[in-house]
Amino acid sequence: MKINIQENAISVEELKKTLTNQFSNKYSVKMKGKYVVAVAKTKIIGANVMPLKDKIVIAGGFPSLAIQIIFTLSFIALGILIPVILYWFLLHKKMKEVEQEVADFIKKEYSQIIINS
């Protein structure tokens, strides 16, 4: 999900602090690299938030690189079909729920810098 914002209106550190204050009792919020904030519901379910120059990108996904690598390696071990089916039926819906909850909060919290286009 993409949310268009004013250019350079928010920094990664500010976004992380705001998400931590809001979700600290419900989710784990930590940095995933320099530019991505990971909001984790569990070790394998979460959403990645990337504030860019003129938009914020929120995507349901694996909150840690280790889990992402293990999932990718499962394609080699199990073939493509089994991991895709497992992902789609067990994880996708839960990741989208976290993504939507984070997106709704960001839209509400930063409504003054959002550009409707």
Q: pLDDT tens for residues 14-38?
A: 999 999 999 989 999 999 999 999 9
Dist CA 100 CA 95 (whole Å): 9
pLDDT-flagged residues of the chain (< 50): none
Provide the whole-model pTM.
0.89
The per-residue pLDDT for 27 is 95
SS3 state at 40 = strand
pLDDT at 14 (0 to 100): 95
d(CA 25, CA 28): 8
What was the pLDDT predicted at 116? 80
pLDDT the model gives residue 81: 94
The domains found in the chain, sorted by start residue, are: 2-109 (3.30.310)
